[in-house]
């Protein structure tokens, strides 16, 4: 890490105030973007998706838990894998504490993976997760929302992800989808993928204000440093 210019407090304060103006403009633009996001059109969910949960078979409507809004984290966990994605686990470490707050605003949060329910429950137990994590094994759900890819797509080396056709080499990629339950119908209101997930990881935002930032430039790929929380050397 290169050391920036070292200055007296008065100069530091002047520079900080100049940057504060940019931060405020960014906040204003973010508020505007969030408003436009909420105004995007919705699409009606036509399929009868079914999930495996600790309560047995559940429909998409039942995942709402009696609330009108549902956020689904598409957790990368292929049925053949021994453990779920380490990067998705990095995101999932943010979930436990926010669930009660989301519920107070009429929002349910559920993670969905294609791996069998028993595998999900075992990983959740090891990592101390208590958020709802259900299996979509045998369902089209993850494929329909462009986060799981068939053997045929992998053989072609190309599939739709983040709204464009691009090269894919893995059977699973991450994403978040949002739904609304209204007048007895379910609507898909939003999905985001790739860097669109950054805003949902509190740890990354703390790193962004640290002197070294994410410190990933010299790594073979971003997040190469990430491990399952229990796998870091102590």
What average pLDDT score do residues 69-75 get? 98
Q: What pLDDT is stored for residue 112 in this prediction? A: 98
DSSP 175: E
Strands (E), 87-199: 107-113, 132-135, 158-161, 164-167, 175-182, 185-193
Sign of the CA dihedral with 54 first, then 87, 188, and 170 last: negative
pLDDT tens-digit series, residues 125-140: 999 999 999 999 999 9
Q: How many residues does the chain have?
A: 234
pLDDT tens-digit series, residues 200-219: 999 999 999 999 999 999 99
pLDDT tens-digit series, residues 75-91: 999 999 999 999 999 99
**Structural contact between residues 131 and 111, judged by C-beta atoms closer than 8 angstroms:** yes
Q: Out of 3-12, 44-53, 127-136, 169-178, which region has the weakest mean confidence (pLDDT)?
A: 3-12
Contacts 24+ apart (CB under 8 A), 57-62: 58/134, 60/141, 60/179, 60/186, 61/181, 61/186
**Structural contact between residues 166 and 158, judged by C-beta atoms closer than 8 angstroms:** yes
pLDDT tens-digit series, residues 161-187: 999 999 999 999 999 999 999 999 999
Q: What pLDDT is stored for residue 234 in this prediction? A: 61
Q: What pLDDT is stored for residue 233 in this prediction? A: 81
Q: What is the mean pLDDT of the chain?
A: 96
What average pLDDT score do residues 52-65 get? 98
pTM of the model: 0.94
């Amino acid at each position: 890490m290169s050391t920036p210019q070292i200055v007296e407090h008065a100069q530091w304060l002047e520079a900080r105030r100049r940057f504060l103006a940019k931060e405020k403009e960014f906040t204003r633009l973010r508020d505007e973007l969030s408003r436009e996001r909420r105004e995007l059109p919705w699409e009606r969910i036509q399929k009868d998706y079914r999930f495996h949960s600790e309560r047995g078979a559940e429909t998409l409507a039942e995942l709402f838990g009696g609330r009108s809004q549902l956020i689904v984290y598409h957790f990368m966990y292929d049925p053949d894998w021994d453990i779920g994605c380490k990067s998705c686990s990095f995101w999932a470490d943010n979930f436990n504490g926010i669930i009660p707050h989301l519920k107070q605003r009429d929002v349910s949060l559920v993670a969905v993976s294609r791996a069998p329910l028993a595998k999900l429950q075992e990983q959740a137990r090891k990592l101390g997760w208590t958020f709802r994590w259900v299996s979509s094994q045998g369902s089209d759900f993850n494929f329909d929302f462009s986060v799981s890819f068939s053997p045929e797509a992998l053989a072609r080396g190309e599939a739709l992800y983040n709204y464009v056709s691009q090269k894919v080499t893995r059977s699973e990629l991450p994403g978040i989808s949002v739904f609304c339950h209204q007048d007895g119908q379910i609507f898909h209101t939003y999905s985001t993928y790739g860097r669109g997930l950054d805003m949902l990881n509190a740890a990354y935002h703390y790193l962004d204000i640290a002197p070294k930032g994410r410190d990933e430039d010299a790594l073979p790929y971003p997040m190469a440093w990430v491990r399952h929380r229990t796998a870091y050397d102590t």
